[in-house]
């Protein structure tokens, strides 16, 4: 699992005590600078508000000293402990991070402790180094404004595996991007473009496919990636992308050379993920593809019900299946099978 070369991307794998590896998407400097800017604005806003409220209250009570005390203490707390306090109380998020859907976690994937939250935020001072002193002559005075360049932070992120700044390294935390938790919806992406599986053109290509052909596992993954992104692409771009896989495939499968590559990928996608119709053809095919045979659980398709009796009552309705669903969905007995492999 770990000795296999991993693709260069910003995902980090966490292995749970159940020996399941799940992934987080790491947040790089540009994802985090937005959250930082929001937090700075909030700090400035809260400080101004505190100054105004404490100032006017203490003026009304004729106790300016008390007002100054309150303002300075709030400045102290905001400046040094804003991030630490929120990341502790909101389990790894500040308001800025919540708005930009980031979260601080330990590198082993667990939530951070109070100590880590405080420490990594104190050390932010180092991460902002070196300062560049700007001398604006608007005031016509020797006022220099220190602007943080954050080069230390960028260097640390570049040299660490998980985009960790110095503060993260010192308490072994990382910042991950929480992806918008869409829905359990899966295989209807192709249809989201308005074309249905019943599209006659698609059906024609589907019919032309050799009955025994099954895409390999990597091709299947590529197909699902293509299908989930397809709706964001224009027709020209689709042709361009689909050509790279479609042209060699059309040749290999002996399809007419004028086959639309986008449609070909669509047909393959439907065959791999959606269609039920040619199940028999596959079963009687001469060479059983290793893809299905490799899964000991799914091959016999056990007609089991979910063993959790409450699941059906309280669960919201399932997403509308795109194609007729057979009643025998595999239930929880899968969970008792030791996972033969983990996703790479």
Partner 1 sequence: MKTAELVAGHAPQWRQLEQLCTQLESRGTRIKLGAHRRTEFAALYRSACADLALADAYQLPAETTRYLHNLVGRAHNLLYRVENAHASDWWEELMQRVPRRLYRDNYLRLAAALFWGGFLASALLASRYGAMPNYAETVLGQDQIQQLEQMYAEPTNQGRGLNDNVGMSGFYLWHNTTIGLRCFVMGVLLGIGGMFETLFNAVFLGAAFGHMSTTPESDNFFTFVTAHGPFELTAIVMSAAAGMRLGFSIVDTGGLRRADSLMLAGRQALPTMFAAVFLFLFAAFIEGFISPSALPYSLKSMVAVLSTLALLGYLIVLGQAGDADGIDDEQLTIEG
Residues numbered 66 to 95 that lie near partner 1 (CB under 8 A) are 66-73, 75-76, 79-80, 88, 91
Q: HSE on the CB side for 46, CA within 13 Å?
A: 17
Distance between CA atoms of 217 and 213, rounded to whole angstroms? 12
For partner 1, the binding residue among 10, 172, 203, 212 (CB under 8 A) is: 172
- Is 325 a binding residue for partner 1 by CB under 8 A? The answer is yes
Reported for 313-320, long-range contacts at CB under 8 A and 24+ positions apart, including other chains, are 318/184, 319/183, 319/184, 319/185, 319/186, 319/188, 320/188
We find the least distance from the C-beta atom of residue 32 to partner 1, in angstroms, to be 19
CB atoms within 10 A of CB 121: 22
In the chain, which ranges are continuous DSSP H helix? 29-60, 64-89, 95-99, 114-122, 124-127, 151-159, 166-171, 200-208, 217-229, 235-253, 261-269, 279-284, 290-293, 309-314, 333-336
Total of residues contacting partner 1 (CB under 8 A): 106
Site for partner 1 in 229-258 (CB under 8 A): none
The residue (of 222 and 253) whose beta carbon lies closer to partner 1 is 222
For partner 1, the binding residue among 52, 56, 217, 284 (CB under 8 A) is: 217
The residue (of 42 and 219) whose beta carbon lies closer to partner 1 is 219
We find the least distance from the C-beta atom of residue 291 to partner 1, in angstroms, to be 7
We find the least distance from the C-beta atom of residue 200 to partner 1, in angstroms, to be 21
Q: What would you report as the CA-atom Rg of the chain, rounded to the nearest whole angstrom?
A: 28
For partner 1, the binding residue among 1, 23, 41, 56 (CB under 8 A) is: 23
We find the least distance from the C-beta atom of residue 182 to partner 1, in angstroms, to be 6
Site string for partner 1, 98-137 (x = CB under 8 A): -------x--xxxxxxxx--xx--xx-xx-----------
Q: HSE on the CB side for 319, CA within 13 Å?
A: 10
For partner 1, the binding residue among 46, 49, 59, 225 (CB under 8 A) is: 225
The residue (of 49 and 69) whose beta carbon lies closer to partner 1 is 69
Q: Which of 306, 303, 300 is nearest to 318 (CA)?
A: 306
Site for partner 1 in 258-297 (CB under 8 A): 272-276, 279, 291-292, 294-295, 297
């Amino acid at each position: 699992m770990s000795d296999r070369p991993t693709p260069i991307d910003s995902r980090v794998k966490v292995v749970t005590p159940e020996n399941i590896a799940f992934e987080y998407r790491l947040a790089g400097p540009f994802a985090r600078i937005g959250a930082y800017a929001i937090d700075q604005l909030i700090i400035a806003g809260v400080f101004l508000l505190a100054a105004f409220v404490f100032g006017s209250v203490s003026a009304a009570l004729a106790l300016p000293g008390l007002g100054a005390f309150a303002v300075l203490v709030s400045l102290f707390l905001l400046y040094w402990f804003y991030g630490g306090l929120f990341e502790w109380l909101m389990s790894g998020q500040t308001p800025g991070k919540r708005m930009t859907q980031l979260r601080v976690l330990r590198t082993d994937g667990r939530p951070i402790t109070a100590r880590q939250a405080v420490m990594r935020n104190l050390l932010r001072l180092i991460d902002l180094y070196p300062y560049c002193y700007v001398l604006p002559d608007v005031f016509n005075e020797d006022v220099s404004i220190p602007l943080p360049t954050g080069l230390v932070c960028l260097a640390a992120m570049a040299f660490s595996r998980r985009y960790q700044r110095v503060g993260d390294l010192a308490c072994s935390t990382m910042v991950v991007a929480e992806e918008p938790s869409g829905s359990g919806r899966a295989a209807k992406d192709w249809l989201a473009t308005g074309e249905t599986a019943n599209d006659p053109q698609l059906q024609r290509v589907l019919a032309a496919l050799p009955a025994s052909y099954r895409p390999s596992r990597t091709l299947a993954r590529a197909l699902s990636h293509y299908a989930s992104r397809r709706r964001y692409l224009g027709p020209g771009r689709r042709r361009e992308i689909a050509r790279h896989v479609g042209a060699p495939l059309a040749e290999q499968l002996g399809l007419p050379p004028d086959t639309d590559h986008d449609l070909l990928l669509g047909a393959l996608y439907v065959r791999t993920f959606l269609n039920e119709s040619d199940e028999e053809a596959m079963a009687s095919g001469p060479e059983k593809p290793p893809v299905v045979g490799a899964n000991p659980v799914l091959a016999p398709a056990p007609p089991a019900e979910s063993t959790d009796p409450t699941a059906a009552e309280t669960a919201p309705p399932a997403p509308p299946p795109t194609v007729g669903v057979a009643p025998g969905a595999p239930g929880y007995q899968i969970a008792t099978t030791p996972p033969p492999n983990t996703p790479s």
